[in-house]
Copies of this chain bind each other. A is one copy, B any other.
Amino acid sequence: MAQRRLRMGMIGGGPGAFIGPVHRLAAEMDREIELVAGAFSSDPARASAAGEAYRIDPARAYPSLDAMFAAERARADGIDFISIVSPNHHHLPAARAALAAGVAVMSDKPLTGTLAEAHELAGLVRDAALPFGVSYTYSGYPLVREARARVLAGALGAVRKVVVEYPQGWLAGEAVGKQAEWRVDPARAGLGGCIGDIGVHAFHLAEFISGLAVTELFADLGSVVPGRVLDDDCSILLRFENGARGVLLASQIEVGELNGLRIRIYGERGGLVWRQETPNTLVQHSLDGRSEIINAGGMLIGADAAARTRTPPGHPEGYLEAFANLYRDFAALLRGEPAPLLPGIDAGVRGMTFIATAVAASRDHTGWVKL
């Protein structure tokens, strides 16, 4: 497996999908991985149409998980791993089938529909001892990794405060269209709405960059749009293991906000500010009044982040490249190399724990709760 392109099968990602094509593109960007098969849809016609759109061998566009694993196992050039890009309630069954077939898994987030499913999956992953990744996309950005490296190297001193926000506005009106509909439906999205779709990204980012675990939270989740069952607006206060204070805001009803994930982290001696929509600059503040603009791919970047840009500074890279960085890590794992920054099953369970804890705490008005 060392040098050849790794072979990926996709679960979900049929016609009209958003995240499936993104996974395909990201996985293949560095030519380490190739999409060769898929169970894109349980509807055979749609499965077949997707196979054609992805330009794969029609014979490998399967109508079901079982068909895929059976047929791929029989091939000399069968898939090395699957990417799970279907709605949340499908994550566990797909991962279970893959692991049973001895196939590694890269899963979209959140890990599963419920926390119980997450724990079940963690057991399966542990038993299977196969590579497992979760696509907390934003942790793939070079400057997010640079921020983490700087914080862990002590550039800010002890961390005191983290503010992470993820504002969106696309669900401020009625949820119309395939992407919107399943996200507001508890049967498909699971127990979280906004918190599961984007809040969990913000949560992962806060722990990822700070290098600190959240130990307590106070959650105030709301369903703002009339008739909405799941949360669409979340305000969550945090405490980190070292006593640092935090705030996590996520919303889908802030009209005009696109995908405004941003994080600010402050320590005794400095601060770091990063925004996903302008991801190629990071600002570092110091207690002595100095504020620096750090450019992705620039001269001031550490080795790990530098290795995660593909062009010189000033050539903007974005969401797809960040996503591709996770797949590059995952490919390394598959080849037996270390990929310590790739979110794995623990980060997946952690996200589900966060979602479940916050949803319950908000619903039951239990105030501050342990995480």
**Interchain CB contact under 8 A, A320 and B311:** yes
Contact of A255 with B287 at beta-carbon distance under 8 Å, contacts A29-B29, A321-B320 already known = yes
Contact of A168 with B293 at beta-carbon distance under 8 Å, contacts A5-B55, A233-B161 already known = no
**Interchain CB contact under 8 A, A256 and B218:** no
Complex interface: chain B residues within 8 A of A251 (CB): 161, 266
**A residues 256-280 in Cβ contact with B at 8 Å:** 256-260, 264, 266-271, 273, 276-280
**Interchain CB contact under 8 A, A299 and B288:** yes
A122 interface residue per 8 A CB criterion: no
Specify the chain B residue showing the minimal Cβ separation from A236: B237
Give the segment of A7-15, A18-26, A101-109, A123-131 that binds chain B.
Answer: A18-26
A314 interface residue per 8 A CB criterion: yes
Give the segment of A39-47, A68-76, A169-177, A338-346 that binds chain B.
Answer: A169-177
Complex interface: chain B residues within 8 A of A363 (CB): none
Contact of A54 with B31 at beta-carbon distance under 8 Å, contacts A247-B249, A276-B316, A319-B315 already known = yes
**Interchain CB contact under 8 A, B310 and A25:** yes
A76 to B30, CA, bound (A): 27
Tell me, rounded to whole Å, the shortest Cβ–Cβ distance linking A267 to chain B.
7
**Interchain CB contact under 8 A, B253 and A237:** no
Interface residues of A toward B: which range?
Answer: 35 or more
Main secondary structure on chain A at its contact with chain B? loop
Complex interface: chain B residues within 8 A of A310 (CB): 21-22, 25, 320
**A residues 158-213 in Cβ contact with B at 8 Å:** 160-161, 163, 167-170, 172-173
**A residues 216-271 in Cβ contact with B at 8 Å:** 218, 220, 222, 224, 233, 235, 237, 245, 247, 249, 251, 253-260, 264, 266-271
Complex interface: chain B residues within 8 A of A168 (CB): 314
Complex interface: chain B residues within 8 A of A285 (CB): 169, 255-257
A95 to B154, CA, bound (A): 49
Contact of A55 with B255 at beta-carbon distance under 8 Å, contacts A25-B310, A316-B316 already known = no
A25 to B309, CA, bound (A): 13
Complex interface: chain B residues within 8 A of A367 (CB): 365, 367
Complex interface: chain B residues within 8 A of A80 (CB): none
Complex interface: chain B residues within 8 A of A270 (CB): 255-256
A244 to B318, CA, bound (A): 34
Complex interface: chain B residues within 8 A of A278 (CB): 278, 316
What are 22 residue pairs bridging A and B, where the CB atoms are less than 8 Å apart in the complex? A3-B55, A22-B310, A25-B31, A31-B55, A160-B224, A160-B233, A160-B253, A173-B287, A224-B245, A233-B245, A255-B269, A257-B314, A258-B313, A260-B314, A276-B314, A276-B316, A277-B316, A289-B300, A290-B292, A315-B319, A317-B318, A367-B367
Chain A positions near chain B (C-beta within 8 angstroms):
3-5, 18, 21-22, 24-25, 28-32, 35, 52, 54-55, 156, 160-161, 163, 167-170, 172-173, 218, 220, 222, 224, 233, 235, 237, 245, 247, 249, 251, 253-260, 264, 266-271, 273, 276-280, 283-295, 298-300, 310-321, 365, 367
Known: A156-B255, A169-B271. 6 other contacts (CB 8 A): A25-B310, A28-B31, A256-B285, A256-B286, A277-B280, A292-B293
